[in-house]
Amino acid sequence: GNSEEVIGRAIKEERSLRDRLVVATKWDPGPRTPKDVILESLDRSLKRLGVDAIDVMQIHWLGGEHTHGDNGFDRLENPELYEAMEIAKKAGKVKHYGATSHHENRSRILQKAIDKGVFDVLLVKMNVLEYEQAGMPELLAKAKAHDVGVVVMKSQPSGARIPKGFEKARWNIYQSNLRWALQHDVACVVESGIGTEESRQD
């Protein structure tokens, strides 16, 4: 909501921005949310953003337990979701679809999303602290095999962990963790906590 309004104001003030942006946002359907409710959510996002189409519409936080009964898999079994997706795409309101998760079981959840054959991109928590334990190598391999893009979030591990091989690098810990993430087969890294600190912005 709020972030969509901020982006919408920026686009309104500088119309040429739209062509230079990949506008991604999220909707939040539950396991039994009807398609009409899902499509109403999309229309509200379009209005707040002031755009005709969303480049990437993502399912928010699979496994987050913030919608009733969400175990990370059941929301992917809602037939109304896929009907809404098809309607929105045919109407030209959404160009691509994504699935997101930072649940401890995110690799299996997002591999299930890939199996659905309708998602073009994943947004996933990935950092040096739990790369292997969270099953990231398997997820990245499956995404590549199915031509599904991967965007990394939450690349900064707690405890200021420096990635292996970066101990003597000229970059600070924040920059090193970004570089570590980008060494993998991913499209990009998004950081929501950059703030105004100069080295993070750099």
The tens digit of pLDDT for each residue in 63-93 reads 988 777 788 899 999 999 999 999 999 999 9
Answer positive or negative: Cα dihedral of 24, 27, 31, 32.
negative
Give the DSSP H/E element, type plus range, for residue 97.
strand 94-101
d(CA 139, CA 132): 11
Q: Given this model, what pLDDT does residue 68 score?
A: 72
pLDDT band at 201 (very low <50, low <70, confident <90, very high): confident
Nearest of 102, 83, 22, 32 to residue 57 by alpha carbon: 22
pLDDT band at 112 (very low <50, low <70, confident <90, very high): very high
Give residue for tokens 């993998």: 184
Q: Is the pTM of this model over 0.75?
A: yes
Length of the chain (residues) = 202
pLDDT band at 191 (very low <50, low <70, confident <90, very high): confident
